[in-house]
Amino acid sequence: MDAPKAGTKLQEPTSGVEAIVVRPPSEAVLELQAGGNVALGKRYTCETCNAEVLVTKGGDGQIACHGATMVIAQPKTLPSSD
């Protein structure tokens, strides 16, 4: 299986969770799984490869990359305009 590209839609049929790949992983290791809880509109990132997905339909599921659950990406701080 090839690594997903940016814009690829991921779906988990059991939980109904859907996400779009924003920054693809270098390997085909990205998957949606049942169990857990993902929030609508949040970006999740992989701590190993910095892959990023945007959740378009939240629910009882989790997003995994490199065998580990992805975490919510922290917003980037903008420089002050002093």
Question: What percent of the chain is predicted at pLDDT more than 90?
Answer: 52
Can you give the pLDDT at residue 27? 82
Residue 29's pLDDT band, with cuts at 50, 70 and 90, is confident
Query: What is the end-to-end Cα distance of the chain in Å, rounded?
Result: 50
pLDDT higher than threshold 80 for residue 81: no
Full-model pTM: 0.85
> Distance between CA 62 and CA 49 in Å, rounded?
17
Phi-psi region of 36 (alpha: psi -120 to 50; beta: other; left: phi over 0): left
- Express each pLDDT in 65-80 by its tens digit: 988 999 999 888 888 8
Question: Are 62 and 36 contacting, i.e. CB atoms less than 8 angstroms apart?
Answer: yes
